[in-house]
Amino acid sequence: MRFAIVGDHREHFRRHGWVEFEELLTKEDVSALNGMVDAVMSKRLGVRAGELALGASEALQHGRDLWRDDPQIRKIVCRRRFAEVASNLLERRSMRLAYDQLLVRGSLHHEEGKPSDILSSISTLSEVSAVQGVVGALILSLKGEAGLSDSAAPFLPSAPGFGLFLSAAHPIQWKSLLEDDFLGEASSRYLMIVYAEAKALYILNTRDPHVHRAKGWGLVFGDRLEEPTFPLLIR
């Protein structure tokens, strides 16, 4: 589906809770974004860019809020056209950025040998976010061809540069979505941009692997998300 909303897009989204668009990013955008992601993740993990071996678990644990570390990633994550399409599909008059999350398909493990709570069952994006008022997400494909044709990962876009808009109320088996022991390092990579309503709140939700992250910006549970920490994308 091309990057222009028509009635078929809205109908598909209402029926299925997701809809895919082709070519949201150019090949040049994808290449540049992958380079920026590598740079941020290398710095966070304390390795040289050429030595980065990024798996599913490392992405889940260390790939939250990449936009905060790179102004060019911020431009893509906060791109108004993306937010406008999400707002239209989700039927929301105003939305803000909740967070972004790097996703990589591969072998899953936890630093302490236990799986993250996000992987333990089928759940919606709302149920695994420490933000009350999450409404949906845009998942952008950065690497790999696995996606809608892959029965194990039906909610991932089909090819690099493609994007899939997803309702926060749609149930997902996260473990099946991310885990693939037969895939090599970073063979499939995605950036998920999560949107929330304007009056969203920071809440205690232990199913979110980054539930305490916002405390570093001075928030406590029950606080409203506000600018500039959580940019308002559609007013």
* Confidence at 234, pLDDT banded by 50, 70, 90: very high
Percent of the chain exceeding pLDDT 90 equals 67
For 106-139, what is the HEC assignment? ECCCCCCCCCCHHHCCEECCHHHCCEEEEEEEEE
Collapsing DSSP to helix, strand or coil, 10 comes out as: helix
Q: What is the pLDDT of residues 168-189, one digit of tens each?
A: 999 988 877 777 644 444 468 9
120 in a structural domain: yes
1 in a structural domain: no
235 in a structural domain: no
Q: Which neighbouring-strand residues pair with 127?
A: none
Number of domains within the chain: 1
Write down the mean pLDDT value for the chain: 87
**Of 3, 203, 174, 197, nearest in space to 87 by CA:** 197
Q: What is the pLDDT of residue 48?
A: 87
Max avg pLDDT among 121-125, 133-137, 175-179:
133-137
83 in a structural domain: yes
144 in a structural domain: yes
Mean per-residue pLDDT, 119-132: 88
Is the confidence at residue 87, as pLDDT, over 90? yes
Angle between helix 80-90 and helix 7-16 axes, rounded to 10 deg: 60
- Residues whose CB is less than 8 angstroms from the CB of residue 17 and which lie 6 or more positions away in sequence, other chains included: 166, 167, 169, 170
Q: What is the pLDDT of residues 22-62, one digit of tens each?
A: 999 999 999 999 999 999 999 999 998 788 888 888 898 99
CATH code of the domain containing 30: 3.10.129.150
Per the structure, the complete domain to which residue 218 belongs is given by 7-230
75 in a structural domain: yes
* Confidence at 107, pLDDT banded by 50, 70, 90: low
pTM: 0.90
* Confidence at 148, pLDDT banded by 50, 70, 90: very low
Q: What is the pLDDT of residue 184?
A: 42
**Of 207, 178, 206, 192, nearest in space to 54 by CA:** 178
20 in a structural domain: yes
Mean per-residue pLDDT, 184-195: 80
Is the confidence at residue 115, as pLDDT, over 50? no
125 in a structural domain: yes
